[in-house]
Structure formats: structure tokens, C-alpha cells
Structure 1
Amino acid sequence: MSETCDVAHGTAPADPGLRTLVAVFASPVSRSLLKFAREVGYHVALFEPDPARVTDVPEGFEADTVLPSLDVSADVVVTDHHRPELGTVLKAALEGKPRWVGVLGNPRHPGPHVAALQALGVPESDIARVHRPVGLNIGSRTPPEIALATLAGLIADRNHRPGGFDF
């Protein structure tokens, strides 16, 4: 059997390297995203700047009201693009130099993060680092489906793969 088969059968450990997923804002999508990401080997964190909103945290997880330290091992997913603190949270995340930053949202509508970041004086080159939409195009509708598509897209991107059924 190959090393890949041994990992798939659970007889050898996977070594994906350090991977961190920071879900921004407590939401139904972040609940699923945190659970799925932990299951596939990510170190996970939930950042919710508003302590009054820390009510939708899955069991076994805690919410941080301060953005954790970010580096090139981190992927940041903003799970609510309607929040007033969207711009300030994204600006702080971009300053941490994570590997990847994305904002959930319908691709048929303009992303509100662009205007929010421009208003804060964030350079266009940093604004361009923010991915939107995020995840694989699987027609997801429910929070767990959105989380699954998002996580699959992150894994594909980390592994330099296009996602989908193209090999």
C-alpha cells in the first residue's frame, strides 16, 4: 500500500503542516466551518468582536473577542458581510499577513468589503487579496453546505488544485 493509502485507511498520520482557520463572526456558517475544519486537521479559532453576539458557538469551542495573531499558516473566513465592523476586522486581518482571506457573499452582488476597506484607506493591493466569493461552486444553500464548500475550496487552494472533478 502507498503512503497515501495508509493515511486514508487511518494506519498512518497525515502531516498537512500547521494550518489555522479563523472564522470571523459567530454565525450558523461559522458553527459548521469550525467543526468541519477541526475534523480535517486545522487549528481553529472563532473571532467575534461583539461579546453580546457570542451565543452561536458550537460546544467545545470558544470565541475570542480579540483577533488572534495571524501569519502565513492562517486562512481567514468572514462569515457575515452585513456586519458594521466588516472593514475594521478585514483591515486588521490583512495586516496580520494571513495566507488567505475571504468573505462570504453572493457573487451576483457587489462585495461591501471593498467600499469598507477603501473608506479606511486600505491599499488596493491589499483589498485585492480578499477573495469573494469563497469556496467551490457546488450550489450550496444551507450553512453546513456553505461551510463544506468553503473548506473544500481552502483545501484545494492549499494543495494547488483547481477543485471540482478536474485532476
Structure 2
Amino acid sequence: MASHDDIPEIALEWHRAGEGAVLATVIETWGSAPRPTGSQLAISGDGRMMGSVSGGCVEGAVIAEASAALGDGRPRLLTFGVSDDEAFAVGLACGGTIRVLVEPVGPALPAGLLAELVDARAAKRPVAMLVNVESGEHRLLGPEDPRAAARLRSDRSGLEEDGWFIGVHNPPLRLIVVGAVHIAQPLLAMARIAGYQPTLVDPRSAFGSAERFPGETILEDWPDEALDRLAPDGRTAVVTLTHDPKLDDPAILAAFSSPAFYIGCLGSPRTHGKRLDRLRAAGVAEEQIARIHAPVGLDIGARSPAEIALSILAQITERLRRG
């Protein structure tokens, strides 16, 4: 089922169906803009829409311009000021200004390039769509390109000084938690709020039960087998919570063979010291061992399970955003 996260896919579907499609993108904001840079709205030839560029403040005007763009095939660069009253209506304290690029698919936004973007998103490959707001030229770049790398890493679309807008399309963030212990309960819930797709791994069915973790994705595989199936990528964090070397160590070793951006392990300094002894005895290189965050979480004096979960998610966020 289509969702507000599938805007490029919806626009391409409408175009291929011969209905006509326009993609509107927030390329720049000032002040307390209702929607962040990179937000998109798809408009069909018959006026249907999916997504949002302002939370409702300027959608009507954007749809009118989209209709005109379908008629003449030319893109539009629109600037809107969102008043304080309008901002308050969508939950903001004050107004701001947004610039929206409106592109009809086909005449302005090449359908073939849009299809490449959709394919990359389906394959969960990080990719950036670039458009020059003056010339209308488009490019599709991966994380190996210096121009796109920094913005993909920071998850932040934006307009460059040379007139190129870089729209970030990253695969979802994921969190793999090994150990269905009490800390995992608030950690999974917090992670989902922060935009992660969490998966819980624990072969002990009594621990990882649906009653204890309602609605969660739970794998009862052995941790190394589960990580092999899940294939952590550069937008995946792995956290071990069991305290049991038979469960934690295989997960850590499996995480080492992946590009996971974060590996965190619960345990006291003494417990972690024993963990390091085991890993070194197993021949793990020091550069791999240095990837472990342990004792897991930022040192904020956390005591309760929820506070510890908060410290873990904060450290994961720090690692993701600051590197």
C-alpha cells in the first residue's frame, strides 16, 4: 500500500499510467518552516496528491502551479511565506519561508532518472537526486561521490551555494537488539519514535515473547544466524543486552563483519574487560574491537531501564550524526 514515504514511487506510477505527474520538493527553508528541506508532494493530472510540502499551508497554491506545469511542461520555483497564524494551525510556534521546486515528470524531471531513483530505493541503496535550480539539469549520485557523501551521511537534503539542490534518499535506519531483557522494551519503543525499524533477536522464546514485546519483530534464531539474515548495513545499529557470552559474542563477531555504524554492548567495565579478553583470544583485530561502545550508552547517570535505553539511543544518535 502506498504511503507518505513513497512519494517518488507514486509519482512514477502516475506517470507510467498516463495520468500525468508532478513532483514538488521543498528545497530551502527559513525560520520555523512546517516541513523540512527535502519533503515532497506528488500531484497527479486529475488533482490527487500524496505527501506534503507545508503541512497544509501552501498545498493549494502548489497544486495550482502543478496543473499549470503539466500544461506547459516547465518547472516552477515557488517561494512562500508562512504566517504565524498558518504556522500555529499546523503545530508551530511561529512562521517561516519555504521554496518549493515543482517539476512535471517527463518534460522537466526525466522519467528514466526517476525510475533509477525508485530502483535504488527499492534495493535500499543510499542515493542522492541532484537538480540544478537554474538549468534544470539532474544527476543521481551514490555515497561514493564526494558531492553526495556528506549529505547522505548526515541525512540532510539542502541547496548548495552553486545552485544544486541535493535531495537525500537513504534506506531506513535499523536497530538490531540482541537480548529480550527489560531494557529492550523501552529501547525498541524509543527507537521506533526516532525513525528506526527495530528487530529483537533472542533464541529464548520465554524472553522474546509477543506478550512481553507486543507488535515487535522478534527473531528466535541464534544471534549470528539472525545477523547473517538481517545483513546489517551502514545505517544499522547493533546492541547486545544479554550479558551471556554464548549469545552476545556471536552477535558481536557477526556485527564486526558488517558495515554497521554502531555496535554497543551492555555490561560493567569488568564484564567488558572479560569480553575483550575473549575477543582478543579469538583473534579479533584491535581496530574491530575499537568499534564497540561499552559500557553501552552515554554516561548520563542512567538507572532505570528507560533511562538506560535513553542513554543508548542518545549514543547511537551521536554516532550516526557526528561520526
Tell me which interval the TM-score lies in, with the shorter structure as reference length: 0.7 to 0.9
Instruction: Choose 1 or 2 for highest CA Rg.
Output: 2
**Deviations for 1:119-156, whole angstroms, at most 9, x for unmatched residues?**
33222221121111222221111111100111012112
d(CA) in 2 for partners of 1:96 and 1:26? Answer: 22
- How far apart are 1:3 and its partner, in Å? 6.8
* 8 Å contact kept, 2:198–2:217: no
Counterpart of 2:310 in structure 1 is 148
* 8 Å contact kept, 1:78–1:104: yes
**Which has the larger share of strand?**
2
Return 5+ residue gaps in structure 1 as ranges: 162-167
- How far apart are 1:5 and its partner, in Å? 5.4
* 8 Å contact kept, 1:90–1:117: no
> 2:76 aligned with 1:48, yes or no?
no
Give TM-score, length-normalised by structure 2: 0.44
Counterpart pick for 2:187 among 33, 38, 43: 33
Give TM-score, length-normalised by structure 1: 0.79
- How far apart are 1:86 and its partner, in Å? 2.1
Secondary structure of the corresponding residue to residue 6 of structure 1: coil
Counterpart pick for 2:294 among 132, 138, 147: 132
Residues 88, 4 of structure 1: alpha-carbon distance in 2 compared, 3 angstrom cutoff: farther
Secondary structure of the corresponding residue to residue 137 of structure 1: coil
Alignment of 1:11-160 (within 5 A): 17=170, 18-55=172-209, 57-64=212-219, 65=221, 66-67=226-227, 68-107=230-269, 109-111=270-272, 112-160=274-322
Counterpart of 1:165 in structure 2 is none
Q: Percent identity?
A: 31
- How far apart are 1:49 and its partner, in Å? 3.4
User: What letter corresponds to residue 60 of structure 1 in structure 2?
Assistant: G
* 8 Å contact kept, 1:103–1:134: yes
Moved more, 116-125 or 61-70: 116-125
For this pair of structures, how many residues does the alignment match?
157
**Deviations for 1:22-76, whole angstroms, at most 9, x for unmatched residues?**
1111111111111100011011111213445323741110311222211111011
Return 5+ residue gaps in structure 2 as ranges: 1-28, 37-89, 93-154, 157-169
- How far apart are 1:96 and its partner, in Å? 1.9
- How far apart are 1:88 and its partner, in Å? 1.6
Q: RMSD of the alignment, in Å?
A: 2.6
Secondary structure of the corresponding residue to residue 199 of structure 2: strand
User: What letter corresponds to residue 61 of structure 1 in structure 2?
Assistant: E
